[in-house]
Amino acid sequence: MNKGFYILIFFALGFGQLKAQQISKQQKELEAQRIRLKKEIKQINTILFKNSKTRKNALTEVEDLQVKLNVRSELIKVTNQQTNLLTSKIRINEKNISVQRKELEDLKSEYANLIRKSYESKSLQNRLMFLFSSEDFLQAYKRLQYLKQYARYRRRQGKAISEKTKLLQELNQMLSNEKADKILLIEENRIVQREIEKEKKEQNSLIKNLERRQKKLASQISKKEKQQRAIDREINRLIREAIAASNSRAGKKGKKTFQLTPEAKLLADNFISNKGRLPWPLEKGIVVQGFGRQRHPVVKTTIIQSNGVVIATEPLAQVRAVFEGEVMSIIVIKGSNPSVLIRHGNFITLYTNLAKLYVKKGEKVNAKQAIGEVFTNQQTGKTQLQFGIFNNVKALNPKDWVYQM
């Protein structure tokens, strides 16, 4: 076999190994996502569906089912990606096994030739004749070295065959495991898909019943949105007042953003450096409403504007500050539950829908310190916290800041 062919095989194997390493890294990342999503589904069942038999609110049922459907759909997507990666890895390993098997056959063939030649001249007499027939001492020495090298080469070939055989066994076992993993993932997806179909059927049945009360529902949602807009306006007003008061003390009147002291700037910089790593404001929770403009899951003609996220949790759950700071304000609006604003330099975190307050205005708080207890709606059975992050008056998406939100 020519040299060029082996060079081609070498580069192909090298590329295959690199590709396999990249796939393995992606597999680990996807497996971590899959585990997180399965854990999230368990939390959804615990938090949102634990008391579903005693709950009478159909709208709540529809919203909660949508949350679970979203997570299940994401789980199917991740599992499909894992299956595709396994298919690629199986293909790479099959090619590698084919190449390794051909190399093993070549090694065995070469070794068989060595054994045959060795057998043909195996007698000690033949080897001694080969040495003693030398014309001089130098030639005898060279022939002795040749015999030693030949013996070492035979041993190396035997060892290479043994190692190659072991490698092939490992690759075959790996291939077998990957094929088994792929079958398990496909079966898991089938189970999740059946659950989705069942839950969609249940949700559609609930929606059909709710459609008869579409106008009433739209009115209820509109009322709730008006209450939320009132809270948003009050938050905006309080932040602007805090900016004005802070800047007035610093002799920077007219500025529309916080003019920071060295201590406040250090706090804000630390807050920024923890982007994507901030703790959750609750020990257990599920995001049931995301950030920004979105259609209502039932009344599709209604658009919801959310300046933060809504997190469902268990009754009596304690709310935690996500970072050290100072309680800037406590908001109490008629018809709504209290909210707490905590300042972190020119960043502010918002915690809305509290039943109890553990802090007061001007109090310094630490990260993960309990600041209150979430309110539970006795009619719907929902225990939900509204959580927001602001940079001066600009609302930011908490998902970008809180770890794995």
Q: What are residue 394's phi and psi, to 5 degrees?
A: -85, 125
DSSP label of 376: B
Q: Is the pLDDT of residue 267 over 80?
A: yes
pLDDT (tens digit per residue) in 74-100:
999 999 999 998 888 888 888 888 888
pLDDT (tens digit per residue) in 313-340:
999 999 999 999 999 999 988 878 999 9
Query: Distances in Å between the alpha carbon of 195 and those of 36, 71, 199, 400?
Result: 18, 12, 6, 30
The per-residue pLDDT for 14 is 55
The per-residue pLDDT for 147 is 61
Contact between 90 and 20 under an 8 Å Cβ cutoff? The reply is no
- The model's confidence at residue 143, banded by pLDDT at 50, 70 and 90, is low
- Residue-wise over 329-363: b if at least 16 C-beta within 10 A, else e? bbbeeeebbbbbbbbbbbbbbbbbbbbebebeeee
Mean pLDDT of 255-265: 88
- Of 81, 77, 76, the C-alpha closest to 27 is 81
Contact between 372 and 359 under an 8 Å Cβ cutoff? The reply is yes
pLDDT (tens digit per residue) in 289-307:
999 988 876 677 778 889 9
Q: Is the pLDDT of residue 7 over 80?
A: no
Q: Domain spans of the chain?
A: 3-211, 214-400
Contact between 325 and 349 under an 8 Å Cβ cutoff? The reply is yes
How far, in Å, CA of 336 to CA of 390, rounded? 21
- The model's confidence at residue 117, banded by pLDDT at 50, 70 and 90, is low
pLDDT (tens digit per residue) in 167-194:
888 888 888 888 999 999 999 999 999 9
Residue with tokens 């007219």: 254
- Of 404, 337, 402, 343, the C-alpha closest to 374 is 337
Q: Is the pLDDT of residue 15 over 60?
A: no
Q: What are residue 288's phi and psi, to 5 degrees?
A: -105, -10
pLDDT (tens digit per residue) in 350-399:
999 999 999 999 999 999 999 999 999 888 888 999 999 999 999 999 99
The per-residue pLDDT for 34 is 92
As a residue count, the chain comes to 405
Question: Which tokens go with 178?
Answer: 């990957």
Mean pLDDT of 128-142: 66
Report the first-to-last Cα separation within the chain, whole angstroms. 57
- The model's confidence at residue 161, banded by pLDDT at 50, 70 and 90, is confident
How far, in Å, CA of 310 to CA of 290, rounded? 7
Q: Is the pLDDT of residue 218 over 90?
A: no
The per-residue pLDDT for 5 is 47
Q: What are residue 365's phi and psi, to 5 degrees?
A: -130, 155
- CATH topology for 214-400 is Glucose Permease (Domain IIA) (2.70.70)
The per-residue pLDDT for 97 is 83
Q: What is the mean pLDDT of the chain?
A: 83
Question: Which tokens go with 49?
Answer: 């569906």
